[in-house]
């Protein structure tokens, strides 16, 4: 089976600062990959380069068999690459249902060829809201939501684009234990429906229980990649997190 995402030699600088330095990463279809690293190690920059929010200077990103370098973020979304943001970025003036409507209106038909019918958009909206447990709030605005609900909306909106690969960028930061369980269960359910997921997270218990494979970024370099239990025992990883 060929990889759904193949990152080769990816590099990104901001002025003189090297944020990413020759990253190689492969993700197989249906896989659950955890991506960890200390603050400032380049995780979010990597996500931004993969999703097209930032353009990488060297190396390439292949998604679903095609090189996507140079494509704008929306074009990558059209191909089935969705993300959630580290800090939720809902559309504040739109209702929750309308928040989900945007990706449905702009993304889904790019792959199926036919625009969604108004009725099927409605149906899909309530289906997604039900999935994340926000059914009662379809007509509310994002400002009425709690933190955890905001994260769920963020995931639901990414899902509304019907992605093949979902990158969840710190969907659980700042949440309580039961809320983390909630989000984890949701991600596992999505994965079981066939969506490849990359989880970027600081909360180790969550990462360890979720990931089938774990990759570690430190100062813009990938220093480990493999089975989660082995990776966390890797001396280099321990040193990066705990010091000498």
Nearer to another protein, 32 or 83 (CB): 83
35 burial via Cβ count (<10 Å: 0-12, 13-18, 19+) = buried
What are the beta bridge partners of residue 170? none
Binding-residue pattern over the window 73 to 112 for another protein, x denoting contact by CB under 8 A: xxx-xx---xx-x---xxxxxx---x--xxx-xxx--x--
d(CA 136, CA 96): 10
State which of positions 172-191 bind another protein (CB under 8 A). none
Shortest distance (Å) from residue 51 CB to another protein: 7
Query: In this chain, which stretch among 26-34, 35-43, 70-78, 232-240 interacts with another protein, using CB under 8 A?
Result: 70-78
Nearer to another protein, 157 or 222 (CB): 157
Shortest distance (Å) from residue 133 CB to another protein: 21
d(CA 203, CA 186): 16
Binding-residue pattern over the window 126 to 165 for another protein, x denoting contact by CB under 8 A: -------------------------------xx-xx----
d(CA 180, CA 33): 17
d(CA 5, CA 17): 26
d(CA 144, CA 161): 24
Shortest distance (Å) from residue 103 CB to another protein: 4
Shortest distance (Å) from residue 128 CB to another protein: 13
CB of 78 closer than 8 Å to CB of 120: no
CB of 163 closer than 8 Å to CB of 50: no
Cα dihedral 141, 147, 208, 33 sign: positive
Of 39, 64, 47, 38, nearest in space to 12 by CA = 47
**Rounded to 5°, angle at Cα 229 from 226 and 180:** 100
The number of residues that bind another protein (CB under 8 A) is 31
Shortest distance (Å) from residue 89 CB to another protein: 4
Shortest distance (Å) from residue 237 CB to another protein: 30
State which of positions 24-63 bind another protein (CB under 8 A). 51-53
Nearer to another protein, 150 or 232 (CB): 150
Q: Which residues bind another protein (CB under 8 A)?
A: 51-53, 72-75, 77-78, 82-83, 85, 89-94, 98, 101-103, 105-107, 110, 115, 157-158, 160-161
């Amino acid at each position: 089976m060929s990889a759904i995402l193949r990152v080769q030699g990816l590099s990104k600088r901001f002025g003189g600062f090297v944020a990413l330095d020759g990253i190689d990463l492969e993700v197989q279809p249906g896989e659950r990959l955890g991506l960890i690293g200390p603050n400032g190690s380049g995780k979010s920059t990597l996500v931004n380069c993969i999703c097209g929010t930032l353009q990488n200077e060297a190396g390439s990103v292949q998604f679903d068999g095609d090189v996507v370098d140079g494509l704008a973020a929306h074009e990558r979304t059209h191909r089935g690459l969705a993300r959630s943001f580290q800090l939720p970025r809902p559309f504040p003036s739109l209702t929750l249902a309308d928040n989900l409507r945007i990706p449905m209106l702009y993304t889904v038909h790019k792959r199926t060829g036919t625009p969604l019918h108004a009725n099927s958009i409605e149906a899909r909206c309530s289906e997604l809201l039900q999935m994340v447990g926000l059914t009662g709030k379809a007509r509310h605005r994002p400002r009425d939501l709690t933190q955890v609900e905001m994260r769920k909306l963020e995931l639901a909106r990414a899902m509304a684009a019907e992605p093949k690969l979902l990158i969840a960028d710190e969907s659980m930061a700042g949440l309580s234990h039961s809320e983390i369980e909630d989000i984890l269960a949701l991600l596992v359910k999505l994965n079981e429906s066939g969506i490849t997921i990359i989880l970027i997270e600081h909360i180790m218990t969550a990462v360890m229980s979720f990931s089938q494979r774990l990759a570690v970024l430190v100062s813009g370099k990938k220093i480990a990649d493999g089975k989660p239990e082995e990776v966390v025992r890797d001396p280099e990883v321990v040193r990066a997190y705990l010091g000498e």
